[in-house]
Chains A and B, each alone.
Chain A
Amino acid sequence: MGFPTLEFLTRADPATFVVYGLARDPRIVLAELAKAGPDFLTLTGRYAVLPDAGNDIRISSPGWIDVTVDERLELARTDDLKLLCREAVLHSTSNFSGPLRRFLESYLNFIERHLRANSHTLEPAAAEVFAPDDWIFSAYLPMPQARVLLAEEADDGGPVFAELDAVFFHQGRLICVIIEGAGMVRKSVQRARDTLFEGLSSLDVVRVSKDAFAAEAFPADMFPDTFVNFWEGLDMPVGPCPPRL
């Protein structure tokens, strides 16, 4: 796959490029990626190239969070690492995105609660090495404030992105989360979303009311079972942010 490319979502190059987080202008991220050449990273804290980054993007997926050696030495417990990941996710959203932050907090709380409630069902094989809590990093990584590159070009020839509140990548499919009830959607935003939804077949849309989630309530029934029971099919838990080699 070569860069720069506006051939995402086409038959020739079906990769999906997702900018997420605090990037103000996704075109800047795309331009930087283009400069990186063929050795570009497939998952960083600012973008994901799918499915090159893996068929599932989980909290344990390498690349989305960087931890320095010093920080790593201070992470003595699973809880410390969990907190670091939680803060990194929340920090990747605008201070002024109230409903989205609440959604993320609700999701992050849910995966902990859900894991705890199901810890007795988890494979005990590696119990002497892993604690049940370690499975938390197998949960799917939310990529908030997502901008998905479209195959079309803007009038000025530049790239066009579809804005979504958050996306997950689960079993090779993009789960697009749209939070509703937080204001009317601009026509241009809706048009881009419609283009994405029509153009990408491996995609599911989850429309969730801003009133449907809270700190202790997450609409898990709107997501696939294998997404909710994120540990299923895995042999053992893997921690996040392995050192880059």
Chain B
Amino acid sequence: MSETLSKNMTLIGHNDMSGFGGVGEGMSLQVTKDGRRILWIAHEGPPKNFTGVDVTDPRNSKVICQTELAHQNMRSNSLEVTGDILAVAYQVFNLGDKPAGFELFDVSDPENPKSIAHYDTSGPHSRGCHCLWFVDGEYVHLSSGAPDFTPRHPRDDQIYQIIDVRNPSKPVEVGRWWMPGTAEGDDEPLPERIIPEPLDQLRGGDAFRLHNANVYPSHPDRAYLGYIDGGAFILDISDKSNPEVVSHWSPHNPYPGFTHTVMPLFERGLMIVTDECIKDDAKDWPKLTWVLDARNEKNLVPISTLPLPPVEEYGHKGGRFGSHNVHENRPGPSFYSEEIIVGAFFNAGIRVYDIKNPYQPECIGYFVPPGPENSRVPTIQMNEIYVDENAIVYCGDRWSGGLYILEMDI
């Protein structure tokens, strides 16, 4: 595809991130004390750790900071900034390697991030941290292995961990939870696999492990977990040392797994649940974004899905096609809506949905640029999205395209 397809979205800026344009699953916006707006971006893979882009003028963004990973057998796929503290996830490719876990940086001088602390989750069965959530300045919610956690299945290694960083130089674990049956020693049986995969590959599907844990300061007693093939969990974390399941919903099977994000829309009693596409050429189609009636949080009811463009049109263009990340309504300089959902859908680009009528979501905008140069696939692979309080959309390509900055006219 050589032309941009768009509706109600306009590209106003692009940044190739100094040639390292593989964007991971982390984008987070800092407003510095001198009023600059710095977008921190995680990378899909090595060699770069994280990149800071000054987007004060989104039409003229500038890379102001780009850091290196400790080695090439790791990645920092996820990050979050709150105030002047940046939390960066470290995931290693081989069990037991270091650094695994997360690192906190003082980014009050964004050109010169200073390490505050490293929280180590390395261990014989750990690949470290895949994703983290840090929006209140107090707790980091991790999807990570742990030094003392032994999964029954090698791909069930990332569990939910709550780390107290109120003293950021001394992070302390205060709670953890995993899906019953996935740890050695559990009374419950190992969950039945959805689509079994060979055991020698740690990455990928066929996993009952945590992907995202979302905890909102307005409702600090609830954690919303996307537990890959385990589906969506709501946990009561009013006692962080003893999380308890409030409810569980999973479309797998018959649907093909990989729940990624569980986002509550508190005011409306709704929940958005994404299943990440993880295979090229629609081999795991359909990967859907579900809309759930969550008025009774103990009885979650799916009522619709966000409509995707035709599989016959997008399924075989190259790369992945389907749901992935959505803008998560986090606090801070961030777009907040319970009626508009903005998501990254790999080769279907960025798509904007009106869910005012949640029974019939409507796509009201999209942006699908051409496949970028030097990508592994011929299409765009929109991997991550962040929308600021001015409704400016920041999004990134998984392999090489870097940062795209869009304006919505919806």
Contact = CB atoms under 8 A, between A and B. Distances in A.
Interface in B388-410: 389, 391, 408-410
Interface residues of A, number: 14
Given A95-B269, A98-B269, A188 B410 contact: yes
B410 A187 contact: yes
Contacts of B335: 184
Given A24-B357, A186-B340, A98 B267 contact: yes
B296 to A, nearest CB: 11
Contacts of B266: 98
Interface in A1-47: 24
B337 interface: yes
Interface string A186-215: 111000000000000000000000100000
Q: Which 4 residue pairs spanning A and B have beta carbons closest together?
A: A183-B337, A96-B268, A98-B267, A183-B338
Given A183-B267, A188-B410, A210-B267, A96 B337 contact: no
B104 interface: no
Contacts of A210: 267
Interface in B319-358: 335-340, 354, 357-358
Interface residues of B, number: 22
Contacts of B336: 183-184
Contacts of B389: 184
A99 B360 contact: no
A182 interface: yes
B407 to A, nearest CB: 10
A102 to B, nearest CB: 9
B176 interface: no
Contacts of B270: 96
Interface centre among B267, B295, B408 (most CB of A within 10 A): B267
A182 B338 contact: yes
Contact of B339 (A95, A183, A188): A183
Contact of B267 (A99, A186, A188): A99
A210 B268 CA distance: 12
Contact of B268 (A97, A186, A187): A97
B268 A98 contact: yes
B408 to A, nearest CB: 8
B267 A187 contact: no
A95 B360 CA distance: 14
A210 B266 CA distance: 13
Contacts of A95: 269, 293, 295
A19 to B, nearest CB: 14
Nearest to B357: A24
Interface of A: 24, 94-99, 182-184, 186-188, 210
B338 A24 contact: no
30 contacts: A24-B357, A94-B357, A95-B269, A95-B293, A96-B270, A96-B293, A96-B295, A96-B358, A97-B268, A98-B266, A98-B267, A98-B268, A182-B267, A182-B338, A183-B267, A183-B336, A183-B337, A183-B338, A183-B339, A183-B340, A184-B336, A184-B340, A184-B389, A186-B339, A186-B340, A186-B354, A187-B409, A187-B410, A188-B410, A210-B267
Contacts of A98: 266-269
Nearest to B270: A96
Contacts of B408: 187
Given A182-B338, A183-B337, A184-B335, A96 B410 contact: no
Given A98-B267, A98-B268, 6 more contacts: A96-B269, A184-B336, A184-B337, A184-B391, A186-B354, A187-B410
Interface of B: 266-270, 293, 295, 335-340, 354, 357-358, 360, 389, 391, 408-410
A200 B309 CA distance: 40
A186 B357 CA distance: 15
B359 to A, nearest CB: 9
B336 to A, nearest CB: 6
B295 A186 contact: no
B29 to A, nearest CB: 15
Nearest to A182: B267
A167 to B, nearest CB: 18
Nearest to B390: A184
A188 B364 CA distance: 11
Interface centre among B266, B295, B335, B339 (most CB of A within 10 A): B339
A182 B339 CA distance: 10
Nearest to B355: A96
Nearest to B8: A188
A4 to B, nearest CB: 25
Nearest to A95: B295
Contacts of A96: 268-270, 293, 295, 358
Interface centre among A97, A182, A184 (most CB of B within 10 A): A184
A90 to B, nearest CB: 14
Contacts of B358: 96
Nearest to B329: A183
Nearest to A25: B357
A188 B410 CA distance: 6
A99 B339 CA distance: 13
B85 to A, nearest CB: 26
Interface centre among B335, B337, B360, B408 (most CB of A within 10 A): B337
Nearest to A183: B337
B13 to A, nearest CB: 19
Contacts of A94: 357
B386 to A, nearest CB: 14
A98 B339 CA distance: 12
B339 to A, nearest CB: 6
Nearest to B358: A96
B353 to A, nearest CB: 12
A188 B360 CA distance: 19
B167 to A, nearest CB: 32
A188 B337 CA distance: 15
Contacts of A187: 391, 408-410
